[in-house]
Structure 1
Amino acid sequence: MNTPSNHTKSSKAYQAAVISLCALIAISLAWELWLAPLRPGGSWLALKALPLCLPLSGILKGRIYTFQYSSLLVLPYFAEAVVRLFDASAASKACAAFALLCSLAFFSACLMYVRQQRKAAEHV
């Protein structure tokens, strides 16, 4: 099952995965460049968003393997958000909370999407 049907792309799990991954990329960049950078003027830590861009194409195409490995890729972002929730600045806490929600949503959506695809493959 290399290419998903239109029914697959309209599934809530697919849509949630795409939206939460894009939101996680956006918050990772905004957090380190404008909202609450570690250093004034932005931080090189913004490069942490690059690994999230790698699976974006496969996620948009609905490839199951991409959903599987990217669900593991997002775990360090979850861990960083949990650690930085205890940061001193309110802006950083807000960014961490949003990143935490995005990473949880993406992880859950990936698991649901893979489960849906496997069930659909069993019925074919």
Structure 2
Amino acid sequence: MAATATSVPVHPKAAAALVAAFTLVAMIALAVAWEWWLAPLRPGGSLLVLKALPLLSALPGVWRRRLYTMQWASMLILLYFAEGVVRGWSEHGLSARLGWLQAALAVIFFTCTLAYVGPFKRAAKRAAKHAAGEPPPPA
């Protein structure tokens, strides 16, 4: 007897969600430290420290492993990846290294969120096909 899409449980990758949450915390800490005292655009800090706020707003949902938050945060993180690459290439010294670190953290976060959300998306797709009356794929 073949299992239907509705009877197949989703096995999320808890480790991916945990790494995503810790990576997000690291990105928040990096944004604040970078723009306040490590290598701010202006001596004494800059208002660019506010770039940590969107990441901070995603933290509760990512920590609770909410799919919707994980999805929009994975798209948001691409802006931080782009900023990290631009600043890594265009700046020098510590600021360039921090840019590359930000880009690397963004890639880790993006990969982990996709790994966590993927099984849910596949299960939803199987359930939609089942609801539409399509036969399940052969085992």
Give the superposition deviation at 1:118: 4.0
Give structure 2 stretches of 5+ with no counterpart.
Answer: 1-10, 128-139
Q: Does 1:22 align with 2:25?
A: yes
Q: Which digits, 9 at most, give the CA deviation of each residue in 1:70-124, with x for residues without a partner?
A: 100111111000000023431101111110111111111110000133457769x
TM-score when normalising by structure 1: 0.85
Higher gyration radius (CA): 2
Structure 1 CA distance, aligned partners of 2:39 and 2:73?
A: 26
The corresponding residue for 2:39 is 36
Q: How does 1:85-100 map to 2 (within 5 A)?
A: 85-100=88-103
TM-score when normalising by structure 2: 0.76
Cα root mean square deviation, aligned:
1.9
The residue identity in structure 2 corresponding to 1:49 is A
Structure 2 CA distance, aligned partners of 1:21 and 1:116?
A: 21
Give structure 1 stretches of 5+ with no counterpart.
Answer: 1-6
The corresponding residue for 1:72 is 75
The corresponding residue for 1:3 is none
How many corresponding residue pairs? Answer: 116
Structure 2 CA distance, aligned partners of 1:52 and 1:35?
A: 19
